[in-house]
Structure 1
Amino acid sequence: MANSEKFNRNKDHYTTFSATVSTTDNTATICIANYVNPATGIQIPVGVKMFNLHKIEDIYSLTGEILEAEAFDHENTVNVHCSFKVMDELWIIMPTLSRFSLRSVIRSSFPKGIPKKSVYFILKQTLKALDYMHGKNKLHRNIDAGCIFLDEESRVKLAFRSLTYEENYSNESPGGYPSWTMAPELMFDYRKGSSKASDVWMLGLLALELFYGGIPAFDFEEFQFLVMGIEDEFGVLKKKENINNRRVLGSSRFTGKIGFLWCFSKRGRRFQRRWESLWVFESSRFSL
């Protein structure tokens, strides 16, 4: 939750830098530091992401996300303590997190999906973070496992893409998913822009990634078949009998079903491998 500590916007109060990591596009450097309270002398560990102002392609989107994260006050979001300019760099002061995102952990240790209890816990905590953002009329726009981290107390943290700690974070497409998985209304008319509904659509894609290690489809046709399978199992097709087959079903009417319904359906469970190996943390920590 909110930290009562007021962080000073002066680089001289941040010391003992270590674990320096450069991002793949060399636009930023990530360090671990200690913030020294000038009044009490108390040291607080923080993460510092330093952007090269000359290499930032979209400064408006970046500053917008920083300002939003500075206003966040939720245990499941990556909140920004403060930000300030130091010569040709923009410093963002954040809590310390794991260096690797959940996506990196999946790819390195659980390529076929992570244990079921862990998925339930992660989805529940991510949904809390998203509900908080939407309650403040804020959008995430790029929900995926690459934006999810765990802190030292095993809490799930949802971060904006620009605030991620990861060294090799993929920037292959929005959300890191294939372009043919985007929300239907955006595929039909991208000018509409993201919405709360498209955020929830991506939360469904996240559910698939957690359960299976990725989207269980290889192209648009197979993905559509997957969607139809979900709709058929939950009786959605019957409600669409009078809808033109060529009409695009927007995610505002299909929010999250792509992931959640499939993963928890009988058909989906038949394909879900029962991993007995432990998750990064003990299963007891993931109980609902």
Structure 2
Amino acid sequence: MSCLECPCACSRIASLAVSPDVRVDVRLGHTDTTYQPLSRIKSESFALELRSPSMVSFESNSDSYEVWSPLGSVCGGRGTVWLARHKPTNVQVALKIYELDKCEDEFELIQQEIRTVRQLRHRNIIHYLASFPVSQQLWVVMPLLGFTSASRLVATHFSDGLPEPALALVIKEVLQGLSYLHSKRIIHRAVRGSHILIDNSGRVVLSGLRHSTTIHDSTHWKKTVHCYPLEARYNLNWASPELLAQDLHGYSENSDVYSVGITVCELGNGEVPYRDIPSTLMLLEKLEDRVPFLFDASTVHSTENGQGMTTDSGVGGSVGGNLTSLAITQRLFTPSAHDFVSRALARFPDERPSASDLLSHPFIRQTRKFNSNLPQHLHPVVPLNQQTDIGDVIPDLLEKTLEETSLNDEVSWDF
């Protein structure tokens, strides 16, 4: 019996751990490498390859890391993401710690996530620096992405939504990451604001790959899949109609494009679409092609006192309280932004552009003319790891920052 077949969670986790002193490239870019379908990859082939002389060694033992302060929850509260320091290099990292006794139902998802992340190499896909068991826990070491998640940025600094230039820059890199995944026949199935992470330079990476699946079986390539995500309840608001319908047609990579459209509304409006309506009504709204849109002066009418007036939104009662924001009734998204959302949220998957095609959409192409990068559009937000120097203990300023960015589960930092 192999370790992966053993019923002991710790034994199976141990087989997925990166070997001690594995060396990985912590620079921004990652080149593509040969991909093999998940079903054909053996656990021993997951060691990360040596890529350049400038690599840093991240040891697979807990003594090499100083755990500082919690950043958020993961896997429905069954784990915690911590700010930590890699002692040998003094580098700040994000440390995801799963409590194995709470993760029995999610173990297969965690195992899949580790395997999937290790075989992918792209600048817009999250990568792991190390993973290893510690007693009844699994520790996963990742780069610290200073701007945190897109959903947290919106909740803490942009309550009316991101400005259009920032939104376009974020979605452009999300589409680049999805295009890469789709070229490998992988469906993400959980594109959402909390799975969009941003580093100090403005590079955007996709996380949440424990929800992904591959369009492949042992005998032939398929065009669609029919399996329902094990943890779909966390991502229902962003899920496509065909994924939720679970009919004979199944769903494909274009299911992710629909999720991108929902995410644009989430980040552009400052709130999650469908957040206040029952899941059954939400499914009905999606099947009837009543979808969200971007809130601005062209879609939200202003009353005499300057407050937004709720009109027929096409999404039941899910338009939310942001319609009363004066800023929303006075701003104006470009026609290309509205068109982008409309195309991404087409009811039927064959009517939606692919992620690669959307990279040529005018909403995305406008980023070529920008003379500024994403961090400049996020001003005055400062990355977590630039607010203070690294010390032996967390300075009071950093503690205060973490407390201010601590939010409820609705805006989790879900890696």
Coarse TM-score class (shorter-chain normalised) = 0.5 to 0.7
Match of 2:142 among 94, 111, 114: 94
Change (3 A) 1:264 1:175: farther
The one-letter amino acid of 1:68's match is: T
Q: Per the alignment, in what secondary structure is the counterpart of residue 102 of structure 2?
A: coil
Q: How far is 1:35 from its partner?
A: 2.8
How many angstroms apart in 2 are the aligned matches of 1:196 and 1:97?
27
Aligned partners of 1:97 and 1:151 also within 8 Å: yes
| Stretch deviating more after TM superposition (188-197 or 5-14) | 188-197
Aligned partners of 2:117 and 2:209 also within 8 Å: no
Q: How far is 1:264 from its partner?
A: 7.5
Aligned partners of 1:70 and 1:81 also within 8 Å: no
Matched, 1:51 2:98: yes
Change (3 A) 1:148 1:89: same
Q: How far is 1:11 from its partner?
A: 2.2
Matched, 1:116 2:164: yes
Aligned partners of 1:103 and 1:146 also within 8 Å: yes
Give the aligned partner of residue 175 of structure 1.
235
Aligned partners of 1:18 and 1:31 also within 8 Å: yes
Deviations 1:153-207 (A, max 9, x none): 22112111669xxxxxxx9944362xxx632222332676653111111112112
How many angstroms apart in 2 are the aligned matches of 1:281 and 1:28?
29
Give the aligned partner of residue 259 of structure 2.
202
Aligned partners of 1:114 and 1:210 also within 8 Å: yes
Deviations 1:196-234 (A, max 9, x none): 11111111211222222246677654973448999xx98
Match of 1:125 among 169, 173, 190: 173
Q: How far is 1:26 from its partner?
A: 4.2
Identity across the alignment (%): 23
Which runs of 5 or more residues in structure 2 are unaligned? 1-28, 31-50, 212-230, 294-313, 315-334, 340-345, 364-372, 380-415
Change (3 A) 1:145 1:205: same
Change (3 A) 1:162 1:196: closer
Change (3 A) 1:210 1:23: closer
| Stretch deviating more after TM superposition (184-193 or 129-138) | 184-193
Give the aligned partner of residue 23 of structure 1.
73
Change (3 A) 1:70 1:142: same
Q: Per the alignment, in what secondary structure is the counterpart of residue 160 of structure 2?
A: coil
Matched, 1:224 2:289: yes
Q: How far is 1:21 from its partner?
A: 4.4
- TM-score (norm: length of structure 1): 0.68
Deviations 1:118-141 (A, max 9, x none): 111011011111112222222211
- The alignment of Structure 1 onto Structure 2 pairs a total of residues equal to 238
Give the aligned partner of residue 10 of structure 1.
61
Aligned partners of 2:289 and 2:347 also within 8 Å: no
Q: Per the alignment, in what secondary structure is the counterpart of residue 54 of structure 1?
A: helix
How many angstroms apart in 2 are the aligned matches of 1:108 and 1:284?
12
Aligned partners of 1:204 and 1:256 also within 8 Å: no
Which runs of 5 or more residues in structure 1 are unaligned? 164-170, 235-247, 266-278
Aligned partners of 1:201 and 1:256 also within 8 Å: no
Match of 2:152 among 99, 104, 107: 104
Give the aligned partner of residue 186 of structure 1.
243
Change (3 A) 1:137 1:221: closer
Change (3 A) 1:195 1:214: farther
Alignment of 1:58-97 (within 5 A): 58-97=106-145
Change (3 A) 1:189 1:9: same
- TM-score (norm: length of structure 2): 0.49
Deviations 1:78-98 (A, max 9, x none): 211221111100110110124
Change (3 A) 1:73 1:44: farther
Change (3 A) 1:44 1:98: closer
Aligned partners of 1:34 and 1:45 also within 8 Å: yes
Aligned partners of 1:203 and 1:256 also within 8 Å: no
How many angstroms apart in 1 are the aligned matches of 2:187 and 2:242?
16
Q: Per the alignment, in what secondary structure is the counterpart of residue 235 of structure 2?
A: helix
| Stretch deviating more after TM superposition (151-160 or 182-191) | 182-191
How many angstroms apart in 2 are the aligned matches of 1:216 and 1:31?
29
Match of 1:146 among 190, 194, 198: 194
Matched, 1:283 2:377: yes
Matched, 1:136 2:201: no
Give the aligned partner of residue 32 of structure 1.
83
Q: Per the alignment, in what secondary structure is the counterpart of residue 186 of structure 2?
A: coil
Aligned partners of 1:106 and 1:114 also within 8 Å: yes
